A = this chain, B = another copy of it.
Amino acid sequence: MQDETLLMMPGPVPMPQRVRMAMARQAINHRGAEFGECLKDLNRMLKPMFGTENDIMVISGSGTAAMEASVANFCAGKKVASLVNGKFGERLFKISEIYAEEATEFKSEWGTPLPLEELEKALEEGTEAVTLVHNETSAAIKNPAEEVGRLCRKYDALFIMDGITSIAGDEVLADRWGADVTVVGSQKCLAAPAGLSAVSASEKAWENLAEKRPFYLDLAAYKKSAAKDQTPFTPAVPLFFAMREACRIIEEEGLENRIARHKNMAEAVRAAAGAWGLELFCQTDKFHTYSNTATAISYPDGIIDSDFRGAVKKYGIEISGGQDHVKGKIFRIGTMGATGIPEVLSVVSAAEKALRELGFKVESSGTEAAADVLKI
């Protein structure tokens, strides 16, 4: 739209009209039956997206709040291993440093395979909890949640999984993989407004509940209030209504269809990058694959990040650069949520034009390559 920037970033993402309109309602008493119904609806609709039978607690706070809630409530006083190959893995490590008895980073370069053998050794030696970012958007790599879950089960460790940017856009099977605590953010594949997050916790997680917990992020208080269909503290009501509407849209699309669509969109962007002759940033292997919700592409020599993204923005489209030490080295395109074929075609065309404008000779048409993948 002329008065809106098309966000093709790894979140936030454009929201469907129905989701936005759900926020414009008049205030209600959040201790009443209507809000209780909303909470129940969210619990019911989010469970299959998490791949869990455990109850889902929705937190009025961003994904980071839910990450902190997971670690503070269930990993306090433990030996925690944090798997890190990107910015959000680092964040989970930093949070673990606050609450864990001992927090250790198991680190590889951003976007490269994680040191799973080292992790197994640490588990043998008594690591009690492991944190993993399933879909690391800072590098657009999908990490091996199933394999990490297998290792955690083998050594009876708690598995904390950040599914912030995979849930509702990619396959997440928390229970089958053995993820004890799983987290999602609202403004990613759910295509809901920013400001909410949600957590599921297994029986085993609850058995490990910390005695001393934070107040606002005390998940035991959430559990207790959920029994009365309430939240322990004032919830961000308009965002809950919006997230329910977003979940309804996901139900209507069908989760399998949605996951297939996400996979298809990411494939299309990767096909475009290949056609242009550009390299994808992340390194895959048997366990690590490309993200199905975001794509990170390395800049060729001579292309300046701000010039490139500025040129794309002239077409009314916003994409992301790299974060921290990869700033200037990569650009990232998100293909999440309610965005579909038209939006992917737009961003690929704009990026291709921007590359040409900046003097890069593309090998072949990325637009055509993307379109070939996208056609239904």
Contacts and interface: CB of A to CB of B under 8 A. Distances in A.
A14 B27 CA distance: 5
A187 interface: yes
Query: Chain A: interface residue count, which band?
Result: 35 or more
A98 B214 contact: yes
Contacts of A1: 26
A234 B239 CA distance: 14
A364 interface: no
Nearest to A164: B234
Nearest to A237: B194
Nearest to A318: B29
B12 A233 contact: no
A185 interface: yes
Contacts of A64: 215-216, 233-234
A195 B237 contact: yes
A260 interface: no
Interface string A60-77: 111111011000100000
Interface string A291-322: 00000000000000000000000000010000
Given A234-B185, A234-B195, A238-B238, A212 B98 contact: yes
A216 B68 contact: yes
B194 A236 contact: yes
Contacts of A23: 20, 23-24, 193, 238
B7 A15 contact: no
Given A63-B234, A95-B215, 6 more contacts: A12-B28, A12-B29, A30-B194, A64-B216, A194-B238, A214-B214
